[in-house]
């Protein structure tokens, strides 16, 4: 009896120790267990079409523009327009007094008609050999001189009728009936703004990438939600030796007449498209001067990859080195990660929450 008692005591102690260890193990996760995977949004990198852009500031100009003035000193008889009117080529803008010229025209017309009759009689007499050829030539010269005099008076009359040289919109009216105008007196401005010429300067280092026909997009603070598309029509033949820049002219359709000459516009010039690796800006992690993205391996671990960034556009940035087509990267949720973390894909809404 005394020999079996120590054995049973050892068995009881061993069972208690086993139960104690089992209880400790069932109370939580084992030390060193891997943390749960982070929910992120993933995307596969693929080349996309990318267009480099240049930005500049430009001044809008009318397609055609002129200040209407008088050619002679005369009194305004009739004003045929009001400020802001839209006119067609040939419409009468201002009619100046022309009484003396009208009388002169009647006189010149009468002289011409008489010279015509004299020439007709002379030709009849010449056929009958009743007058000499020299007399007939004199009558013909008289007729031609009378016609030239009539044409001169007609030209003087036309100078007293000011018409629109092209289709456009008139500016402020600066004369009234009865006003005395002289050569150079401004009557109104006339602008053709159906097309706007946009002049802007670009540094000479970009001269090699500028060419006729390039697409542009212009923006005005007056219309913040509108984009005005156009094309480059001319690159100036000279570089300014002071600013080292070249002037470029583009044309923008303006059928709604929203743009006006003199407006300041910001310009974006699009270069020829090319293939590039592009990622969302939100996927880039900036550490000092270095940029990184998280590249996801086949085992769903994310490793930090250093990248070199290129051009940017709204919400996107070009990666010139560090990524290749086919790589899978974290596009949303990168701020939650550390190098080597496990990730799991989820919809964008889940990653952003």
Return the pLDDT at 82: 92
Which of 143, 159, 175 is the last residue before a domain boundary? 159
Where are the extended beta strands (E) located within 121-185?
Answer: 161-163, 168-170, 180-181
Which of 229, 255, 270 is the last residue before a domain boundary? 270
24: left (phi over 0), alpha (psi -120 to 50) or beta: alpha
Calpha distance 60→198 (Å, rounded)? 5
Return the pLDDT at 153: 65
Evaluate whether residue 232 is within a structural domain: yes
* Residue 279 and residue 310 in one domain: yes
Return the pLDDT at 99: 54
Return the pLDDT at 334: 83
* Residue 59 and residue 204 in one domain: yes
pLDDT, mean of each 10-residue run, the chain (353 residues): 44 41 44 72 88 91 94 87 92 77 65 81 78 80 82 72 92 91 91 96 92 93 94 94 95 94 94 88 89 90 90 87 89 85 70 44
- Using one digit for the tens of pLDDT, what is the confidence trace for 230-246? 999 999 999 999 999 99
H/E stretch holding 267 reads strand 264-270
* Residue 193 and residue 119 in one domain: no
Evaluate whether residue 340 is within a structural domain: yes
* Residue 203 and residue 59 in one domain: yes
Return the pLDDT at 149: 80
pTM of the model: 0.63
Return the pLDDT at 268: 93
Return the pLDDT at 201: 95
The number of folded domains in the chain is 3
* Residue 266 and residue 191 in one domain: yes
Which of 235, 270, 305 is the last residue before a domain boundary? 270
Return the pLDDT at 105: 57
Residue 182 CA: distances (Å) to CA of 69, 75, 177, 267: 8, 9, 14, 42
Evaluate whether residue 258 is within a structural domain: yes
* Residue 266 and residue 287 in one domain: no
Evaluate whether residue 107 is within a structural domain: yes
Retrieve residue 73's tokens: 């000193």
Evaluate whether residue 285 is within a structural domain: yes
Strand partners, 190: 66, 170
Phi, psi torsion values for 317, nearest 5 degrees:
-140, 145
**DSSP code, position 29:** P
- Domain of 104, in residue numbers: 98-159
- Is residue 253 within 8 Å of 197, Cβ to Cβ? no
The Cβ of residue 76 has, within 10 Å, a number of other Cβ atoms equal to: 20
Evaluate whether residue 28 is within a structural domain: no
């Amino acid at each position: 009896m005394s020999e079996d008692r120590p054995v049973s005591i050892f068995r009881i102690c061993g069972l208690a120790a086993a139960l104690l260890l089992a209880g400790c193990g069932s109370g939580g996760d084992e030390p060193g267990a891997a943390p749960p995977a982070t929910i992120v949004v993933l995307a596969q990198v693929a080349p996309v079409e990318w267009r480099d852009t240049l930005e500049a500031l430009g001044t809008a100009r009318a397609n055609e523009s002129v200040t209407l003035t008088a050619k002679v000193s005369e009194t305004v008889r009739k004003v045929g327009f009001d400020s802001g009117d839209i006119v067609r080529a040939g419409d009468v803008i201002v009619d100046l007094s022309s009484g003396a010229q009208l009388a002169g025209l009647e006189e010149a017309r009468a002289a011409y008609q008489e010279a015509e009759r004299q020439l007709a009689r002379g030709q009849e007499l010449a056929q009958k050999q009743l007058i000499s050829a020299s007399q007939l030539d004199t009558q013909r010269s008289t007729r031609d001189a009378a016609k030239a005099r009539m044409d001169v008076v007609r030209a003087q009359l036309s100078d007293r009728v000011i018409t629109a040289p092209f289709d456009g919109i008139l500016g402020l009216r600066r004369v009234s009936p009865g006003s005395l105008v002289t050569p150079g007196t401004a009557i109104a401005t006339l602008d053709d703004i159906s097309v706007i010429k946009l002049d802007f300067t670009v540094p000479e280092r970009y001269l090699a990438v500028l060419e006729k026909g390039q697409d542009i997009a212009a923006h005005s603070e007056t219309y913040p939600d509108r984009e005005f598309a156009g094309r480059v029509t001319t690159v100036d033949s000279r570089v300014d030796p002071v600013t080292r820049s070249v002037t470029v002219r583009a044309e923008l359709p303006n059928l709604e007449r929203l743009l006006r000459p003199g407006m300041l516009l910001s310009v974006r010039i699009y270069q020829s498209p090319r293939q590039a690796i592009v990622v969302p800006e939100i996927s880039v992690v900036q550490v000092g001067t270095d940029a990184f993205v998280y590249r996801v391996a086949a085992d769903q671990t994310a490793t930090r990859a250093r990248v070199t960034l290129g051009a940017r556009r709204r919400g996107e940035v070009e990666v010139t080195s560090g990524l290749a087509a086919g790589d899978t990267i974290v596009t949303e949720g990168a701020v939650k990660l550390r190098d080597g973390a496990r990730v799991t894909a989820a919809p964008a809404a889940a990653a952003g929450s």
